[in-house]
Amino acid sequence: MSGRALWSVALALVAALAPVAAPPATAVELHTERSLYRNIVVVEEGDVRCMKFGRNARGRQTCQSKSDPDRMVFDYTRMMMAALYLNPSPQRILILGLGGGTLPGALQKLFPAAKIDVAEIDPAVVGVAGKYFGFVPGPRTDVFEEDGRVFAKRMAKQGIRYDLIMLDAFDHEYIPEHMLTREFLQEIKALLTPGGVLAANTFATSKLYDFESATYFSVFGEFYRLKSGNRVILVRQNGLPAREELNRNADALEARLAPLGADKEWLLPMFGVESGWPRNTRILTDQYSPSNLLNGS
């Protein structure tokens, strides 16, 4: 069996992006299309509309409440907003992976003066985000239909730096392999301003969990993690803030984040410094990818 096949089999055994049972029979399929990269399906059940990559996929890429579209449905999107506790006033933001536009939509409302760049490889996802999830780029938001790593390299060559970078690029299985490696994270680190913050959405249960931890640590040193279904990794370029700084920033942001469902009483207790992976854990690299790892090569 090929490394890619083993990679697919292994990832099929772990939790989905937002673990959930298959939609019941009452779910209504609003849209389906085959893009260059994937099958995109939009389903609706009651008050909730969701985007999935494939009819039988367990993972939902985006869900939105029709009655309260600003309130975040997924725990992981609310946990990603905790990145603001590490830098409460980002002026330039990069998001890799659009989905239905939940994260850029929230950030452009919170920080209307901020410049936001979004890289999404699939033009069909961009179209679905606008038509079915109401995502409209603001006057200072640009969406680039481009692979996230290619985009990051291009911004680095231009000398662009970001105060906040959010990694949320997934296919129907998991994070694309070329966006899991030490080399990729080094490229992302080079894009951060001195106080810049990185937030990365990963699985909370995965055969790659320790390898991801070791790889992030090799590039950034200590990092915070929040877990609830998914794991969100948070790092800051000049070192992690102490708990007192997190608390101050959480207090200052509470009135703005609570309507999204990202309130401090829920978020702050989840903060912890990740630790505990074996000392000899292999680091994921462009040469030693997850496929190589799972293939035993």
Backbone angles phi, psi at 226, to 5 degrees: -120, 140
SS3 of residue 255 by DSSP = helix
- The residue with tokens 């006057």 is 139
Torsion of CA 18, 167, 66, 16, to 10 degrees: -10
What are the distances in angstroms from CA 81 to CA 3, 8, 138? 35, 30, 19
Scan for tokens 């995502």, then name that residue: 135
Question: Is 263 one of the catalytic residues?
Answer: no
**Contact indicator for 156, 187 with CB cutoff of 8 Å:** yes
Q: Is 281 helix (H, G, I), strand (E, B) or coil?
A: coil
Q: Among the options 168, 210, 263, 286, which is catalytic?
A: 168
- Radius of gyration of the CA atoms of the chain, in A: 18
Maximum Cα–Cα distance across the chain: 53
Query: Are 47 and 27 contacting, i.e. CB atoms less than 8 angstroms apart?
Result: no
Yes or no: say if 83 and 164 are a contact pair by the CB < 8 Å rule. Answer: yes
Catalytic residues: 168
